[in-house]
Structures are given as structure tokens and as C-alpha cells.
Amino acid sequence: MSSNNIKKTESLKTRIFNSKLVLIITVIIIAIILPLIFIFYFNNISPKKQDESIKKTIAVSFSPIVNLIQNITVDRANLIDITANTDPHDFEPTTEDLTKIYSSNLFIYHGQNLDNWVDKILPELKNKNIPVLKLTSKLEMQYINKDNLNNMVILNEDSLDHSQEENQEIIIDPHFWLDPVIMKNASKIIKEEIQKIDTQNNDFYEQKYTEISLKLENLDLQYQNKLAVCKTRELIVSHLAFNYLAKRYNLNFISIFGLEYEEDFSVNQLQKIADIIVLKGTKYILVEPNFDNKLTQQSATDLNIRLLPFYSLENSNDSNYIDLMQKNLETLVTVLDCN
């Protein structure tokens, strides 16, 4: 074989070897790099598809803000409503409730006249390094004179101004959630606390906070506009829960009961209700859907008064905050005879 043919053969073998080597190296690179790309993508590019096991858990001590938090977290966090379907005024946590709280990543509680049981567990929460948000410590709360908390309470701004009643014992009204403006402030505070424990979803929480904030602003505007011109600004309610609503929109609520419903109700108190109904010339008493007081119902029947539903949103059965606040507004428009 000539030297030229030998060189050509060797050159061909070299090219074939080089081609195989390139192919082998390419396969090795693909085998190493491709899995890394998938790992990077699913761990960093798409955190929205989180597994349930790595979601943050938020425990809440009172139901009225649960729907608000749901609007911020959507499906990015597990939300536990500790007092769901119970009367928050009488609630005491079970061992199961405490286990849920101690397993959470964030505990949000009210802190004023609604969940006093929380004081007993705060030391253990601190020992377990669980972040705690006392929501009312960051909000503007209203005061009520305790001397006025009997079975008939006429609300006005004077009775809410504790500075003018230094000799009377005062308590803080817990029902801040019935004021859309305060609820907007609450949503910002809650959003910021959630962002601290779940930084990878910060942008998502910011977006959802913006959305619920705009809805609350719109709700406030609806109340302002529809309640601007009314024939009366007084109405009778079953429960002393609407101070914040009254103050925000310049209304006067006459309450049959105080902060909590009472079983005992004397004939004299019933007569007092009847006298005020006649005096005010009202056609309605606003009652919460779970309200069950036979004497009040009998009084309404005797005086030809209608009982209309009005939501305090104290338990999780009142699930959609915006919707129920709009229902309350339509009821107010009817009762107050607004244009």
C-alpha cells in the first residue's frame, strides 16, 4: 500500500475517532446538564407549584379576618381558623387547637376583649419561636364606657369618647372589622407579617394585597355615597357590635344587648324597647342571622316591626367579607330610607 493511501486511512480513522469522542462527550454533557436544568427550573422558576408540605401555616384566633387573609394568600399558605363556627366571646382552645397553633409558622390574634385565652399561651409561643401578631396593637381602636353596657345602649360619639368620661370604667370595642377603612389598614399589616415568613412569595402577596385593598376602598366609597342622604340616621340593632360602622358613616345605633347576648331579659327592659320603637317611629330591628331571643321577636310581632338580617361577621359562617358588607349596606339603605 502506498504511503498516500496509508495516510488517508489513518486520517479517516482519526476523524471517525474524533466524531465518536465528540458524540460521547455530548451525551455526557447532556446527561449531566439536563437534570440540573430541570432541578433549577422547578425549584426556582416555578415556586407557584409548591407541595402542600412546604407551605407556611398561619393560625388565626378570630374568624372575621380569615376571609381577608384568604384574599392575600389564596393557595400559597395553609390557613387555620381556630375559632371557626364558635362564639368567640366564650371560646376556650382544646388540646387539638393548641397543637395546631404550636405547629404554625405565624399566629395572628386580636388581643382586645375577644380572645383573652391567648394570654395563657403567649409564653409557649415565645419558647417555640413562633412569630406572633397582635393585630389590634397596630390599629386605631374605639372605646366604650362600661357603665353604659346594659341591655339598652344608645350609641353616639360622646359615649365612644372615653376621654370625656374619666370617672367611668371603659373597655375597648373589639369589632374593628366592620369599618372598611380599618380593614384596609389591617390587610397591609397582615400582608407584611406574612411576607416575613414566606419571602419567596412576596411579589404574589403584594399583588393580592393591592387587589383586596382596592376592593375595600371601593366598599368604603359605596357606603359613603349610598348613605350620604337619608331621612334618618338612627336604627335599632340586636347587638352592640356596630360602633365602628356608626362612627365612620355618622350613624346612631340603638342596641338591645351589650357586647354579648344575655339570656335574662326583664319585662321592664322589653317595655323600654317598645317605648323607644314607638318614640323613634321605626319599622325595623336589625338582627344577626343567628339571633334567637323570643322576647325581642315577640316585641317585634306585637309592634308590627320587621326583623331584618344584619351581619356582625363574628364567625366563619359569615364567609365573604365584601359580599356581606354590601348586604349590610343595602339593608341600611332600606332602613334609613336613603336616596
**Domain ranges across the chain:** 55-140+172-220, 227-336
Record the pTM. 0.76
The strand pair at 306-309 and 284-287 is best described as parallel
Q: 227-336: which CATH topology?
A: Rossmann fold (3.40.50)
pLDDT number for residue 165: 41
Shortest CA distance to 255 belongs to which of 148, 328, 146, 336?
Answer: 148
DSSP state of 333: H
pLDDT over threshold 60, residue 51: no
pLDDT number for residue 152: 37
Backbone dihedral region for residue 264 (phi beyond 0: left; psi -120 to 50: alpha; all else: beta): beta
pLDDT over threshold 80, residue 291: no
pLDDT over threshold 80, residue 309: yes
Give me the mean pLDDT over the 67-94 stretch.
91
Q: Are 283 and 307 in contact (CB under 8 A)?
A: no
Give me the mean pLDDT over the 303-315 stretch.
86
Q: Are 306 and 235 in contact (CB under 8 A)?
A: no
- Ranked by mean pLDDT, the top range of 155-159, 165-169, 241-245, 266-270 is 241-245
pLDDT over threshold 60, residue 253: yes
Q: Are 130 and 58 in contact (CB under 8 A)?
A: no
Residue pLDDT, tens place only, 94-137: 999 999 999 999 999 999 888 999 999 999 999 999 999 999 99
DSSP state of 278: H
Which residue bears the cell 330591628? 285
Give me the mean pLDDT over the 208-214 stretch.
98
Rounded Cα gap, residues 214 and 31, in angstroms: 50
Q: Are 146 and 113 in contact (CB under 8 A)?
A: no
CATH number, span 55-140+172-220: 3.40.50.1980
Give me the mean pLDDT over the 257-278 stretch.
67
